[in-house]
Structure 1
Amino acid sequence: MTSQHSRHSAETPQFPRRGSYAEAVRIGALLRKETVGGGLLVLMAAIAIIWANSPWAEGYFWLRDLEFGYEPWHLRLSLGAWAADGLLAIFFFLVGLELKRELVAGDLRRFSTAIVPVVAAIGGVVVPAAFYIAIVAPDAELAKGWAIPTATDIAFAVAVLAIIGSHLPSALRIFLLTLAVVDDLMAIGIIAVFYTESIELVPLLLALLTIALYAVLAQRYRQFFHLRPVAAWAVLLPIGVVAWAFVHAAGIHATIAGVLLGFTIPVLHRRRDAVGEGEPGLAEVFEHRFRPLSAGFAVPVFAFFSAGVALGGHEGFIAALTDPVTIGIVAGLVVGKPIGIVLATWVITRARGIRLDPALKWIDITGVGLLAGIGFTVSLLITELSFPGANPHHDHAKVGILVASLIAAILASILLSIRNRRYRRIALKEAVDADGDGIPDVYQDR
């Protein structure tokens, strides 16, 4: 009877699946990095809101709308547009790189473990969009903002998790990261399909050729650059900038270039061993160089230029809160996100016979669902594409994003802090290394 039970447990897929020790270390390091980036993100957004509603607000909007660039390539943009189209491409390059890593070397490479976060991400997109559409239904013009509450801000959500979830299981953290990456990829797909009005074929063809060249050089960098990833980085960077410019000139949102370029980077290194030691590969070199630039500069600067909303005093703030757009965004992010993620996770685990990790409860998944309701960076980006700057719903949507992200962060922090205290006791046991090999026994006991 016992042997049958053990055999059944071994054959039953488990969610979340405990990754390798090297993966747990990588996730922990990523969380620590994003804590600083998330703090800068909040700080810059707060400065923008205060400045935009101060007696010196005119200076903020003058700076945001200041234009410069090269007109023939459609590159004469305002500072705010440069931040949204240019700097965010760095952020989405890392999104593409992280997703490639998950597909090739992470949990997404196995269908049994990939299906859960992918379906959860789909639920986290469909349900918030349905909430929004249901609320704004009387006014068809407002429906164009349906994608605003579908995105999760990786930097913000991971920063909150890193601050309050020091002892939460690594599998749950990996689930959040995977969920957020897939969520952002879906958001980029939505931007490409629903927010691209026209495409210029010649720049598009040049963009594809440039990206193809970039991919060949990235995959064969050892042959072209004499086994030196640093040399590869120096050559690939300007080619990537040219690809970004062609994508932008083609009429496609240029952040998509970042995702495509990230997908071309090889993430495996044949000389690396099972615990991740050895010579770093190109993916590691790029992440090492670009993640601080993304988290410490690109995303905070974008937040600074996008979060500045002139509320117009108490009456203006009340008008924003009563706008169906604001209500739809808040309902979608705060209510729709956790419902969609938890419901989709429950359905797929039941349908596929996947058991939840015995150490986790559904309340933990609910906490991650609330955390995914922090839709800051990509939601602000979609707002810029949904409503013109002169449209009052443009600023009201930003108010909705800020309010919803704050509420989601507070609710998730309360819930996960309670759970974190429970897992702190478990962590003491999991830290045991009886054989003294430097790897906790829990990662060797399958």
Structure 2
Amino acid sequence: MSKVRQILDMNAFDATQGGTGAVARRLANLGAASVLFYREPIEMVSAKGAWMVARDGTRYLDFYNNVPSVGHSHPAVVEAVSRQIAVLNTNTRYIVEVVDAYLEALKDKLPAALSNVVMTCSGSEANDLALRVARAASGAQGIIVTETAYHGNTALVTEASPSALRRGTLPPHVVTVPAPSRAAFGEDIAGGFRAAVEAAMAELQGRGLGTAAFLADSIFSSDGIFADPAGFLRPAVEAVQAAGGLYIADEVQPGFGRTGDAFWGFARHGIAPDIVTMGKPMGNGFPMAGMAARPDHLAAFCEDVGYFNTFGGNPVAAAAGLAVLQVIAEEGLQENARTVGAHLRAGLEAVAADAPQVAAVRGAGLFTGVDLCSPDTPDIPDAAVTVRIIDAMRDAGVLIGAAGRYGATLKVRPPLCLNRDEADRFINAFANATRTTL
């Protein structure tokens, strides 16, 4: 039987083996908290567009890192950040025009009901705040997440991130449901997933906790990327809302045009979320994140606690975020994600037809999952095969990572500026890797 994998163990350097040079220096500085990619970590020195450059001069096509969503070192973001930090950077206790300009531009992309935005520095903080708001607004305590979800690293959010746990069990207030896959629910993914969420709500009610929130990343990235059929998520969300719980749409991964069909992942499903959380892609690498909520929900929380974040919503972050929104619009990156993503999946599906260790290809826009298995046994996820393919692609100058319950799904999420030639380079590298790793 395949072994369940912890998220930080996937595609990771084994720090217990020690290291030399720059690796030893990092381990000495961070100790057990050090997380490096690959069995032979890479020292990077620069990046631009979809490419990164290592200390030894090797150029790598980056299909792993969704943080620089509009492209590494995008000149518009660099200029906006440089200009603002040379003028003023302070906190939100002062009125600074660029901050409200950004908030209004962001709100133009969100459902009108979510008219209050709280800025933070990380998606973890945004999800932590969202769960606290959901509890205050609902009067309940229970949280529903998927079996291999990852939503961040604060104490509260780690409890709701099953894939982050190396030992122990989830607390009583967290109940999981299977990822929305055909393996779990057959052809009726919408109905099966709704039934699973309703059963989770009944479990929380039986524990005397009720359901405060269903927290889900609408591309289910840590579970292995499940995007289709569009709309399958809506019945489960409506069931939670009908019972008085809130749906928190974690858009840290699928948001900002990545799924191609819509600016937000939840929009592909026709959902009206109660709270939206955002992070990684917002500043193209500048640390910023946020939570959008209804005014009454936020007010219910602030009556008891209130919230202030020293660096959240600072003018430099706002300048970076505004530049990202402008670049997505001016360069047509959402449409690029749709068309180049479709081209990429078509190429990967063609490779899969002749590769016995490829079980499935699925996704939306420039977010694709490729399930890997023992050759000719698609029902058996194979993390060892996945590691071999990841290493072979690194040798070919392509960076890629793993996801899924068993660490056997390639998580394909390149910058939104990816072009067809770069997509073809990935397809060719993947085809070669499947041949050489049999």
* TM > 0.5: no
**Structure with bigger gyration radius:** 1
Which TM class, normalised by the smaller chain length?
Answer: under 0.3
Query: TM-score when scaled to structure 2?
Result: 0.26
Instruction: Pick 1 or 2: higher relative contact order, CA cutoff 8 A, min separation 6.
Output: 1
Query: TM-score when scaled to structure 1?
Result: 0.26
More helix by proportion, 1 or 2? 1
